[in-house]
Amino acid sequence: LGRRIAVLISWLLLLVFMQSGVFAARRFRGGRNPQPRRTPPSPTYRDRGDTTESFPLDFTAVEENMDNFMTQVKNLAQSLYPCSAQKLDYDMKLHFLENTSVTCNDGTPAGYYMKESRGSRRWLIFLEGGWYCFNKENCDSRYDTMRRLMSSSKWPQTKTGTGILSPLPEENPHWWNANMVFIPYCSSDVWSGASAKTDHSGYAFMGSLIIQEVVKDLLNKGLDNAKVLLLAGSSAGGTGVLLNVDPVAELLEGLGHPGIQVRGLADSGWFLDNKQYRSTDCHDTISCAPTEAIKRGIKYWGSVVPERCRQVHLGEEWNCFFGYRVFPSIKSPVFVVQWLFDEAQLTVDNIHLTGQPVQEGQWRYIQNLGIELRNTLKDVPAMFAPACLSHEVITRNYWIDVQVKGTSLPRALHCWDRSLQDNSRNNKAPPKGCPVHLIDSCPWPHCNPTCPTIRDQFTGQEMNVIQFLMHMGFDVQKMAQQQGMDPSKLLGMLSSGS
């Protein structure tokens, strides 16, 4: 394959140079050509087998636009070049922070993984997710069972990017060529802490400081020449984006880089401070109501929240951890990605889908959750909200497959990127046929046929939409009656994904 592509590129460039010489000669003679136009002969080459492949090339259409054509050929050559390389290094490499006083929970050095893309002025910094702990007891338990999320002692030297972090165009159509940075989550504080280890806490909580130090280190590695910085994250990392996107923009401006356009991409971090389905005592992350866990956490972590949100919620800064409460105060552009039936939200709301059909009250609660989420997202200008039961998406290999109203998530992000470029040129009209506000209107989990595959938690077998809804306690007869339609028609619509 590499030999074929190298030959193809050579032919393209040779023909372009020859053809551009012909064009120049024509212009020198007054731009006239008395001979009829002819299509140049097709370059043909043979592989080691008997198959012959030909590539007919007609340059007459680009005679008057050679500069643009040359640019396209160069771009083609650059995008095809990796295919011809004998050995490709797509991995991000581990770097520890230069400021060794900013650490993970246990005092080991914090750091980041990076894959440089020379020539690109776009940077993507990703914040990893992974819940949190909010007192000494459950942090000790977390350290025993999930030490990777509190310590860097066993981090590997390299990490392979997937989804929006992938360097492959087929998996990541619009960001594959950006400079990629992955910051492992080792602070257990929803990326909000700013406190050193004490005898009382037993741990350091420095999530917000880690982000700031990574940005400072990257300025010496090419970020100072960036045009766009996209701060992205999933789950707790998604909430971390909402908490840190403005502080990162302010940091760069304060360091003399106001021209870098800082944006946010928050995936599965738009949590609700709603009432639990069943109230329980606040012993650990799973059982504790979201508001109570955050109220305890921000004191234990020594959290900092964005200044504008802090001013709005003085004395009740915990509000800033919930998307719909912090979003109105954020100045930087933010794109929100949120499953309407988020598994982590259901978990903290004490809806546990353990393999047994859910009760009617649980089913109503799940449907109402989708309604509540829709209501909180309706004024968010750039968002993607499929009616699926899932959690996290932008680093999954299926992130390009999920659609809302016929538009995929990568396409929506590309449209958002275009709309921001147009706005910077004072063109306020959004690009035609390029939607950025996408939310499903169907009322049930997985009523969108492009949702990720669901598997039975006990058997591991895939379930179709009808099997899943029946597992969830969905009553076809009752639901058809509520919708005013025949049950068989409703089943047919579900089967076809309508």
- Positions annotated as catalytic residues are 235, 342, 391
Residues in contact with 121: Cβ distance below 8 Å, sequence separation at least 6, in sequence order: 225, 226, 227, 228
CA distance 288 to 280: 7
CA distance 161 to 411: 19
8 Å CB contact between 93 and 158: yes
CA distance 286 to 350: 8
CA distance 94 to 156: 8
Q: Residue type at 386? A: P
3-state secondary structure at position 51: coil
Looking up tokens 């043909």 gives: 44
Q: Residue type at 467? A: Q
CA dihedral 365, 371, 373, 379 (to 10 degrees): -160
Helix (H) or strand (E) holding 254: helix 236-254
Residue 390 pairs with which residues in a beta bridge? 342
CA distance 188 to 292: 16
**Strands 462-463 and 437-439: what pairing?**
unpaired
**Residue 67 phi/psi, 5° resolution?**
-60, -45
CA distance 455 to 461: 5
How far from 230 is each of 59, 206, 288, 305, 412, CA to CA, in Å?
Answer: 39, 21, 32, 19, 15
CA angle 214, 218, 221 (to 5 degrees): 155
Residues in contact with 79: Cβ distance below 8 Å, sequence separation at least 6, in sequence order: 169
Sign of CA dihedral 274, 279, 283, 287: negative
